[in-house]
A and B are shown apart, each in its own frame.
Chain A
Amino acid sequence: MAVAAAPAQPAAAARAHPVARLIRRRLAIGVVTLFLVSVVVFLATEVLPGNAAYAILGHNATPVRVRALEVALHLNRGVLGQYWSWVSGLFTGNPGHSLVNGQPVWGYVEPRIINSAVLVFVVGAIGALAGVALGAVAALRKDGWLDHVTSVIALAVTSLPEFVVAIALVIVLSTVIWHVLPAVSLLAPGSYAWSQPELLVLPAATLVIVIVPYILRMMRAAMVEALESDYVEMARLKGVPEWRVVLVHALPNAIAPTIQVIGLNFLYLAGGVVVVEYVFNFPGIGQGLVSAVSDRDIPVIQFIVLVLAAFYVVMNIITDVIALLATPRRRIAR
């Protein structure tokens, strides 16, 4: 709609803050999505057939216990009232209490969020650097042996489930062949990942192996395109040294589209941490989710799923905004 409206407006008004307008619009969509996500999370755990209290306690539970649990879960109120007490709890920093041990959900989840965040950002940074570097080299050596090898390995690795990669690393590095790294990341409850960095190595390595192929493929394609472009040809004809052509002319233009794929991989990590943390018993949010689902600890499930979804929505917005800023022609109002 903005496309049709823009030419009608005075040029100055249309150019006022096109980037700011796009970002505002993107944020508004994000807020609406987050609201709908919270409704889905809430309804999925409340409206599914069967009372949640019976689902947790089993069908031969005593009425007294069912009643007590209904009160704990606010099931004795109407659906709107339940939703309201849950959401207002989230905003006041009180997402409820665990059904398993009665501890506050926040106290259980908070150290896990930090551990997972450390894992995700370590993996994202290493993965992005490795993917961009390998992709650029593959493009420079297009159709060479390195290009063919990385392309075949990338296709194979993108097919593999994370837990297969993780198990392969455990077999090679910590049990059957060598014993150089711990197979499980046993941390004292409530302690943080950076206190024992060696425990981060295998979970991080698994996730890096999983995300690098996607970034590599995108970077290679974008770099090949950039190297065959007219401006690179022009630079070469002017006698610009080759290293400068690659680093100053081709690379920055190839990185712009790759940023979006790096963003997509951060999104992937929100789900990828679940299995990998479980494999290594890494005390993060994903492992917390798996054990909460096993125990049917609904308040914990609701909160962790909402945190992961919020991360997803926010990362999506950040990716869009960075892509917008990295691609100058999109900044101009059309």
Chain B
Amino acid sequence: MAVDAPAAPAAQPGQTRRIRRPQWGTLLSATRTPRGAIGLGLASLVVLVAVVGPLVAPNSPDALVTLAFGKPSGEFPLGGDSLGRDVLSRVLDGGRALLVMATCATALGVAGGAAAGVSAAYLRGVSDGIIMRAVDVILSFPQLVFALLLLSLLGPKLWLITIAVGVSHGPQVARVLRSATLDLSERDFVKAAELQGMRPVKVMWKEILPNLVSPLMVEAGLRLTYSIVIIAGLAFLGFGQPPPAASWGTMINENRDGLSLDPWAVIVPALLIALLTIGTNTFTDAFARVAIGVDRRPDEAALIEDLSQGLGE
């Protein structure tokens, strides 16, 4: 699998040459694989709908213009929703917040998790112990349950949902990057930097992090998919933008009572969420195959590696 990949971050131990090739080449070659092209195409299509949609929506998403669960007609191609609003206009309007929140939550989780994982592995000792215990504690909550716990007191504020989802990603990212850093920090170029008197923070930033770009990007892709799943799921459960705002997750829940009258009010938002997550996940899979050459998802691999390390002690 992908042996001829242009950038292979897993260099041999003892090799001093740093691998700091720009990752854009890897991204580009991922888009040339069939999986990568399909994934990118699907995700771009949905992003296009979410971004351009509000500009071309024929009606106001909040206006009551047709019958509740009205059948699709020439004027309202997807029919009416539970209150008689135009489903097409609400679909076109309902993706932006999801995309923005998922992107921010992913950035937060990957940045925080990377900082924690790299420092735990590089600093070792007490820092490692404290960071990894904290990781264990957050990992003991299913991600959605963790988000619900935080939302239970402050109410479903959008910034709080974003932060809660970001924080719940942190531990998984930290685990993956910790095991990647453990290998790296024994390399000669890291030792050389240390001998030159470079401070630990600078070693991590200048020497270790640039060599972790590929696993970081794979993590970012996986976390983006999960962020979309969790944020759309919370909206579905009723913890999202307050009404009357349109969002795909909320629409599925609002309109499922009328499934036998106007199924499109449920099918179209569900399909858009599905295409988006299949797109991001498939592209991430293609990128992982090109960049790291793994067949197994890195989060599963790291978890299993972690388990065996814990047991081997």
| Residues on A facing B (Cβ under 8 Å) | 1-3, 22, 25-26, 29, 32-34, 36-37, 40-41, 44-45, 48-50, 52, 55, 155-156, 158-164, 167-168, 170-171, 175-176, 183, 214, 217-218, 221, 257, 260-261, 264, 267-268, 270-272, 274-275, 278, 289-290, 292-294, 296, 298, 301, 305, 308-309, 312-313, 316, 319-320, 323-324, 330, 334
- Inter-chain contact A175/B263, CB cutoff 8 Å: yes
Using A175-B259, A218-B300, A293-B148 as known contacts, say yes or no to A159 and B140 having CB atoms under 8 A apart.
no
- Inter-chain contact A290/B237, CB cutoff 8 Å: yes
Nearest chain B CB to A298's CB is how many angstroms away?
Answer: 7
**With A and B bound together, what is the CA distance between A81 and B289 in angstroms?**
54
**Is B206 in contact with chain A by the CB < 8 A criterion?**
no
- Inter-chain contact A264/B295, CB cutoff 8 Å: no
- Inter-chain contact B153/A330, CB cutoff 8 Å: no
Segment 119-159 of B: residues with Cβ below 8 Å from A? 133, 136-145, 148-155
9 A-B pairs with least C-beta separation: A271-B142, A159-B281, A175-B259, A161-B229, A159-B277, A159-B278, A36-B137, A309-B140, A293-B152
**Is B97 in contact with chain A by the CB < 8 A criterion?**
no
- Inter-chain contact B307/A271, CB cutoff 8 Å: no
**With A and B bound together, what is the CA distance between A163 and B277 in angstroms?**
13
Binds A, one of B63-71, B178-186, B266-274: B266-274
**With A and B bound together, what is the CA distance between A176 and B255 in angstroms?**
13
- Inter-chain contact B304/A257, CB cutoff 8 Å: yes
**With A and B bound together, what is the CA distance between A3 and B151 in angstroms?**
44
For A45, the chain B residues whose CB sits under 8 A away are 149, 152-153
- The SS class assigned to the A binding surface is helix
The residue in chain A whose Cβ has the minimal distance to the Cβ of B225 is A159
**With A and B bound together, what is the CA distance between A122 and B295 in angstroms?**
29
What 11 additional pairs, Cβ within 8 angstroms, besides A1-B313, A22-B311, A257-B304?
A33-B140, A45-B153, A155-B281, A167-B266, A175-B260, A271-B143, A271-B144, A274-B145, A289-B145, A320-B310, A323-B308
- Inter-chain contact A162/B233, CB cutoff 8 Å: yes
- Inter-chain contact B149/A44, CB cutoff 8 Å: yes
Nearest chain B CB to A227's CB is how many angstroms away?
Answer: 15
**Is B106 in contact with chain A by the CB < 8 A criterion?**
no
**Is B84 in contact with chain A by the CB < 8 A criterion?**
no
For B295, the chain A residues whose CB sits under 8 A away are 221
Nearest chain B CB to A9's CB is how many angstroms away?
Answer: 15
Segment 157-189 of B: residues with Cβ below 8 Å from A? none
- Inter-chain contact B237/A33, CB cutoff 8 Å: no
For A323, the chain B residues whose CB sits under 8 A away are 307-308, 311
The residue in chain A whose Cβ has the minimal distance to the Cβ of B272 is A164
* Candidates B239, B260, B267, B282; contact of A293 at CB < 8 Å: B239
**Is B18 in contact with chain A by the CB < 8 A criterion?**
no
- Inter-chain contact B267/A171, CB cutoff 8 Å: yes
For A330, the chain B residues whose CB sits under 8 A away are 308, 311-312
Nearest chain A CB to B241's CB is how many angstroms away?
Answer: 16
* Candidates B149, B232, B249, B313; contact of A41 at CB < 8 Å: B149
Q: Can you report 15 A-B residue pairs in the complex whose CB atoms are below 8 A from each other?
A: A3-B312, A33-B140, A36-B133, A44-B150, A160-B277, A164-B252, A167-B270, A171-B263, A175-B260, A264-B303, A271-B144, A274-B142, A275-B144, A298-B153, A305-B145
**With A and B bound together, what is the CA distance between A292 and B138 in angstroms?**
21
**Is B211 in contact with chain A by the CB < 8 A criterion?**
no
For A156, the chain B residues whose CB sits under 8 A away are 278, 282
Using A305-B145, A323-B307 as known contacts, say yes or no to A48 and B282 having CB atoms under 8 A apart.
no
Nearest chain B CB to A317's CB is how many angstroms away?
Answer: 11
- Inter-chain contact A161/B281, CB cutoff 8 Å: no
- Inter-chain contact A260/B304, CB cutoff 8 Å: yes
- Inter-chain contact A161/B233, CB cutoff 8 Å: yes
- Inter-chain contact B145/A176, CB cutoff 8 Å: no
For A324, the chain B residues whose CB sits under 8 A away are 311
The A-B contact count (CB < 8 A) is: 173
* Candidates B137, B239, B310; contact of A37 at CB < 8 Å: B137
**With A and B bound together, what is the CA distance between A176 and B238 in angstroms?**
24
Nearest chain B CB to A310's CB is how many angstroms away?
Answer: 8
- Inter-chain contact A176/B260, CB cutoff 8 Å: yes
Using A159-B277, A164-B270 as known contacts, say yes or no to A214 and B149 having CB atoms under 8 A apart.
no
For B149, the chain A residues whose CB sits under 8 A away are 41, 44-45, 301, 305
The residue in chain A whose Cβ has the minimal distance to the Cβ of B280 is A159
For B141, the chain A residues whose CB sits under 8 A away are 37, 305, 308-309, 312
**Is B285 in contact with chain A by the CB < 8 A criterion?**
yes
* Candidates B143, B236, B260, B313; contact of A3 at CB < 8 Å: B313
**With A and B bound together, what is the CA distance between A155 and B280 in angstroms?**
11
Nearest chain B CB to A314's CB is how many angstroms away?
Answer: 10
Using A167-B256, A175-B259 as known contacts, say yes or no to A296 and B153 having CB atoms under 8 A apart.
yes
- Inter-chain contact B313/A278, CB cutoff 8 Å: no
For B278, the chain A residues whose CB sits under 8 A away are 155-156, 159-160
**With A and B bound together, what is the CA distance between A125 and B154 in angstroms?**
38
**With A and B bound together, what is the CA distance between A287 and B307 in angstroms?**
31
**With A and B bound together, what is the CA distance between A271 and B278 in angstroms?**
21
Nearest chain B CB to A143's CB is how many angstroms away?
Answer: 13
Nearest chain B CB to A32's CB is how many angstroms away?
Answer: 8
The residue in chain A whose Cβ has the minimal distance to the Cβ of B238 is A294
**With A and B bound together, what is the CA distance between A319 and B236 in angstroms?**
32
Using A161-B277, A163-B252, A324-B311 as known contacts, say yes or no to A296 and B152 having CB atoms under 8 A apart.
yes
**With A and B bound together, what is the CA distance between A298 and B252 in angstroms?**
28
- Inter-chain contact A320/B311, CB cutoff 8 Å: yes
Segment 281-313 of B: residues with Cβ below 8 Å from A? 281-282, 285, 295-296, 300, 303-304, 307-308, 310-313
**With A and B bound together, what is the CA distance between A168 and B278 in angstroms?**
15
**With A and B bound together, what is the CA distance between A160 and B295 in angstroms?**
19
Nearest chain B CB to A163's CB is how many angstroms away?
Answer: 5
